[in-house]
């Protein structure tokens, strides 16, 4: 079979660096599975929710202090008590945004909160952060009062606890193997791309240089279409029993060659609770799969291919939190969801807004906080496809294997279907292969930092 028609270069060894020429079968699996998320016994009471926000505030405050220099920080109670003092000099404040209001001047009036009280903070329209501030963000503020005796505090600096520029792990100390990414396959949907999925299985089992180099296949949610996810879904199903959907998925996973280990996490269509973080799929479903590592959503996947003391960490998140960002940020769209991923890295949180479209669970700790800088971040959900770098971190929006549904057609949204993204741990190159019969201007490229 020729793969040229899949818009990907032939597997001629001279076209690839030595890292791509290694065969994954020569390297053992080295996955360190993180503790499962979404499994603490919380009842959703007010104290549970208060504790969640308190824990989030403490974790992100530490990042602001130790990574962004917010050492001399005043509490809101101290700042309000000493207005006259802070008319003369700037003061640092760390707080959580309770409310964001647009002012007539084009700036933003924030209602800020810490554990000692609340205060209003004005952010001028010139500040680059004004279009990305969301309720429940934890931020650092530097500013002063405009006039003594008046409760009008103006910010000169707004700092997110964001991921600073850094070089992700990888390079010559790591095994020359690669990780592939897909999501939103939607087995059981009548729009599932059966032909294109079959093409990908044929390619993964071929002698293509890149196919033989793949060690892991990360599946970031919505592998099954589910039941009752949206009104009228029954009309769009080819398999109407959800367990039959997973059984079919498992048999398709049996086609994946032995040198590739699949890693699966749930999404909003899967048979787990919709509130994030989502626990791992139930054991009855896991038993259907002969060789698959199951994790919750989000998943922190550590690969010890650089040694146990320096693992490569992949942050895989299905991406439902993007639904809360699209209506509030003009530059974040479903066509370019990597912009939402950049905002998540800035905020160090995958879904900061409580009580919006994306349901959140009040776990004992906020498992949606991005404590550690990931070496690679991947999302799905949007049925888009992107591969790029942000501040030393490769970002992957994994492609879908579901065609344009009637709902998508009504919205005028065209999914980017049938692409497989591949990242090599050693040379930090990204490649893409397309399996759908469509225009694919991005397929076949190598993206490098």
Average pLDDT over residues 124-140: 94
Q: Shortest CA distance to 60 belongs to which of 159, 143, 167? A: 159
Domain boundary residue, one of 159, 178, 201: 159
Residues 98 and 150 in one domain: yes
**Res 63: pLDDT:** 95
**Res 199: pLDDT:** 96
Average pLDDT over residues 416-434: 95
Domain membership flag for residue 170: yes
Domain membership flag for residue 47: no
Q: How many domains does the chain have?
A: 2
Six token digits for residue 399:
């492609």
Average pLDDT over residues 311-326: 96
Residues 191 and 124 in one domain: no
Contact between 294 and 354 (Cβ < 8 Å): no
**What CATH number corresponds to the domain at position 223?**
3.60.21.50
Domain boundary residue, one of 159, 184, 215: 159
Domain boundary residue, one of 159, 175, 195: 159
Six token digits for residue 397:
């929006």
Q: Which residue in this structure is represented by tokens 């699966």?
A: 264
Residue span of the structural domain in which 93 resides? 69-159
Is the pLDDT assigned to residue 195 strictly greater than 50? yes
Cα gap 258→98, rounded to integer Å = 51
Taking only the tens place, the pLDDT of each residue in 19-32 is 999 999 999 999 98
Contacts of 124 (CB under 8 A, 6+ apart): 105, 107, 130, 154, 155
Residues 75 and 34 in one domain: no
Q: Shortest CA distance to 418 belongs to which of 402, 407, 405? A: 402
The pTM of the full predicted model, rounded to 2 decimals, is 0.91
Average pLDDT over residues 148-177: 88
Taking only the tens place, the pLDDT of each residue in 224-268 is 999 998 888 889 999 999 999 999 999 999 999 999 999 999 999
**Res 116: pLDDT:** 94
**Res 73: pLDDT:** 81
Contact between 143 and 92 (Cβ < 8 Å): no
Cα gap 422→87, rounded to integer Å = 54
Taking only the tens place, the pLDDT of each residue in 356-372 is 899 999 998 999 999 99
Average pLDDT of the chain is 89
Q: Are strands 91-102 and 73-74 parallel, antiparallel or unpaired?
A: parallel
Taking only the tens place, the pLDDT of each residue in 388-421 is 999 999 999 999 999 988 777 776 788 999 999 9
Average pLDDT over residues 314-330: 95
Domain membership flag for residue 322: yes
Six token digits for residue 385:
């496809």
Residues 179 and 296 in one domain: yes
């Amino acid at each position: 079979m020729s793969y040229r028609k899949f818009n990907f270069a032939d597997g001629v060894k001279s076209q690839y660096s030595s890292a791509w020429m290694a065969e994954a079968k020569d390297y053992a699996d080295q996955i360190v599975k993180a503790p499962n998320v979404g499994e603490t016994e919380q009842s959703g009471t007010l104290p549970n929710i208060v504790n969640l926000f308190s824990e989030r505030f403490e974790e992100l405050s530490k990042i602001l202090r130790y990574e962004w220099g917010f050492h001399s920080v005043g509490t809101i109670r101290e700042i309000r008590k000493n207005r006259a003092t802070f008319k003369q000099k700037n003061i640092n404040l760390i707080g959580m945004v309770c409310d964001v209001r647009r002012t007539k001047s084009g700036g933003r009036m924030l209602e800020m909160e810490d554990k000692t009280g609340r205060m209003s903070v004005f952010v001028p329209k010139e500040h680059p952060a004004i279009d990305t501030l969301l309720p429940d963000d934890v931020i650092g503020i530097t500013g002063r009062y405009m006039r003594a005796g008046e409760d009008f505090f103006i910010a000169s600096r707004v700092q997110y606890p964001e991921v600073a520029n850094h070089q992700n792990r990888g390079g010559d100390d790591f095994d020359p193997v690669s990780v592939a990414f897909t999501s939103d396959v939607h087995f059981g949907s009548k729009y599932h791309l059966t032909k294109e999925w079959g093409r990908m299985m044929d390619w993964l089992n071929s002698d293509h240089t890149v196919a033989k180099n793949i060690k892991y296949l990360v599946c970031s949610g919505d592998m099954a279409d589910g039941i009752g996810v949206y009104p009228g879904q029954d009309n769009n199903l080819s398999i109407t029993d959800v367990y039959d959907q997973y059984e079919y998925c498992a048999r398709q996973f049996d086609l994946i060659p032995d040198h590739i280990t699949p890693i699966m996490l749930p999404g909003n269509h899967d048979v787990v609770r919709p509130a994030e973080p989502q626990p791992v799929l139930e054991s009855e479903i896991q038993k259907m799969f002969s060789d698959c590592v199951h994790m919750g959503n989000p998943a922190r996947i550590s690969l010890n291919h650089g040694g146990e003391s320096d693992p490569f960490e992949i942050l895989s998140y299905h991406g439902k939190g993007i639904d809360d960002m699209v209506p509030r940020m003009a530059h974040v769209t479903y066509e370019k969801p990597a912009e939402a991923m950049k905002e998540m890295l800035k905020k160090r949180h995958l879904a900061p807004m409580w009580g919006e479209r994306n349901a959140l669970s009040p776990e004992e700790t906020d498992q949606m906080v991005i404590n550690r800088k990931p070496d690679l971040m991947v999302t799905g959900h949007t049925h888009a496809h992107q591969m790029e770098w942000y501040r030393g971190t490769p970002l992957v929006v994994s492609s879908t294997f579901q065609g344009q549904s009637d709902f998508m057609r009504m919205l005028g949204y065209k999914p980017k279907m049938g692409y497989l993204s591949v990242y090599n741990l050693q040379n930090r190159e990204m490649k893409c292969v397309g399996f759908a019969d469509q225009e694919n201007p991005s397929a076949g490229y190598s993206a490098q930092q």
